[in-house]
Amino acid sequence: MNFYEWFFLEKGRAPAGLFSFDHLFSVTLTLLIFLSLAVFLGRKFKNDEKKKQLVLLISGISIVTLQVAKITYLLIQTDNIVDCLIGNAPLYFCDIMIFIIPLAAITKGRFREWCLDFVAICGLLMGFMGNYFAGNLYPSHAVISWAAMVALLNHSISAFVSLFVWCSKLNKMEKKNIPFVIGLLFVFMTIALVMAYAFEKNFMFFFSGDGTPFTIFYDLVKGNVVPYQIIIYILQCGYIGVFYALYYPITASIKRRNEAHQAQKAATENE
């Protein structure tokens, strides 16, 4: 057996299994590396706009390159190019970063602010949920395999950029941008829904949970597709709204506490 058969085709290899030691160890180790690097670079380049831009650009190129490599490999393997392209279109929740991260790197103004806020809010969620709850991946693939590694790196880049944005203070988190940040996801989801109906594909898991936590809600409505799809919208767009709703009081509380501490320190020094 050669490397291609072992790594790409996974011949003679058993799937890792969801929540197996191999799955959890590989995901945890990878996220630790990516997130540690995000903190290091975020703090190091906090006051260097050019280098922050460079990190975003490299991240954008990396995540797009991964997608191109994934599609290229699938096209080599398939006999139906059109069906392969449509079926593997990047129209799932975590795939939106393939578009948003490069846009955050190359655009300016308020649109860039929306993209950066979106990455900050959703990237870590994608990194953790997409890696730890990949029920559509690890039950079918070995940990060290082409399919698993592409998915792992894709989600980990999203988590990396998110934490880097927070650490380097690239995100604005202004209230006036809230509807537009949510709007980015709403538009993407709507495109995915139209494509899902047009080509009978399970984009954004709109027709079934497919082993992801969405299966809980699919079972809850007993497979009734329309209520299930509404729930998908509410869960994903609602997450951003809830994040903002928690962010402002928490940051306000931290600010008041810091101001009180500074005032107390100043009073003590003046005595």
- Residue 136: pLDDT band with limits 50, 70, 90: confident
Per-residue pLDDT at 271: 63
The torsion angle over the Cα atoms of residues 90, 91, 94 and 100, rounded to 10 degrees, is: 80
Gyration radius (Cα) of the chain, Å: 21
Per-residue pLDDT at 210: 85
Contact 83, 195 (CB under 8 A): no
The proportion of the chain whose per-residue pLDDT surpasses 90, expressed as a percent, equals 89
Secondary structure of 87-104 as H, E, C letters? HCCCCCHHHHHHHHHHHH
Contact 229, 206 (CB under 8 A): yes
Give me the mean pLDDT over the 1-15 stretch: 91
More confident site: 246 or 260 = 246
Between CA 264 and CA 259 the distance in angstroms is: 9
- Residue 107: pLDDT band with limits 50, 70, 90: very high
Contact 42, 166 (CB under 8 A): yes
* Statement: residue 266 has pLDDT above 90: no
* 251-268 CB burial, b ≥16 within 10 A, e <16: eeeeeeeeeeeeeeeeee
Give me the mean pLDDT over the 240-263 stretch: 90
- Give the number of residues written for the chain: 271
Per-residue pLDDT at 106: 96
Q: What's the pLDDT tens digit per position in 43-101?
A: 999 999 999 999 999 999 999 999 999 999 999 999 999 999 999 999 999 999 999 99
The pTM assigned to this predicted structure is 0.93
Between CA 110 and CA 113 the distance in angstroms is: 5
The closest alpha carbon to 120, from 167, 153, 166, 185, belongs to 166
Other Cβ atoms within 10 Å of 105 Cβ, number = 21
172 CB-near residues (< 8 Å, 6+ apart): 113, 116, 117
Per-residue pLDDT at 245: 96
Mean pLDDT of the chain: 94
Give me the mean pLDDT over the 110-118 stretch: 97
Per-residue pLDDT at 268: 73
* Statement: residue 41 has pLDDT above 70: yes
Q: What's the pLDDT tens digit per position in 181-229?
A: 999 999 999 999 999 999 999 999 999 988 788 999 999 999 899 999 9
Q: How far is CA 91 from the centre of its chain?
A: 12
